[in-house]
Amino acid sequence: MKKRMPVIEVRNVEKIYTMGDVEVPALDGVDIIINHGEFVAIMGPSGSGKSTAMNMVGCLDVPTRGKVFLDGRDISQLGESELAQIRGKKIGFIFQTFNLINSINAIENVELPMIFQGIPKSERVSTAKKLLALVDLEDRMYHKPTEMSGGQQQRVAVARALANDPEVILADEPTGNLDSKTGREIIELIGKLHKEGKTIIMVTHDEDIAKHAQRIIHLKDGKVVNK
């Protein structure tokens, strides 16, 4: 029953950015519902609003108008610190550019989300090692990102996204900086996480990558054009 319930609801959301005296609408009355256990892709051309939509479903930003619910809680009016806490527990992020810290090793990178949740050091290290083993990086745990390939860095990013055992994994162009073979491996890994019960939301411009999702949401000119 839980998998049929919404984990994220975006209701009639508008997002307007102000640049000087000019208002630039990015989203125009967007409605998106993502249920527990779904694998959803969000697609759209440049300027379609898909990055802003990602920020909304990932609780990285709040709407100008409309509401965003995470597990039934309206996050639209929350302050940044409270929003960050909820995000840290509920959502894991995988970014196109990996967003790893080059001055620390893989274990320390995976530890970071747990630090912000107040998890003790010994537990953080133990969890990080298990997650890096899960993504087949047992032999790279003490390597820094600069000592790894792009595919290995993205695997570290996947492990980091799982650090707080979030309900939702939000992947923003997760294969964008990878060659096709490595990209397929990362998508297979994301698909495995979905089969294990994670809710996956993937933003992509690549139709072949989007086909791995159960459902594709298309955006154009700040509107959902089909679900």
pLDDT of residue 120: 97
**What global pTM score does this model have?**
0.91
Tokens at 23, concatenated? 């208002």
The answer on pLDDT for 3 being more than 70 is no
Number of independent structural domains in the chain: 1
State which residues form the domain around 210.
2-226
Q: CATH code at 151?
A: 3.40.50.300
**Which pLDDT tens digit goes with each residue over 57-92?**
998 888 999 999 998 889 877 888 888 888 888 999
The answer on pLDDT for 11 being more than 70 is yes
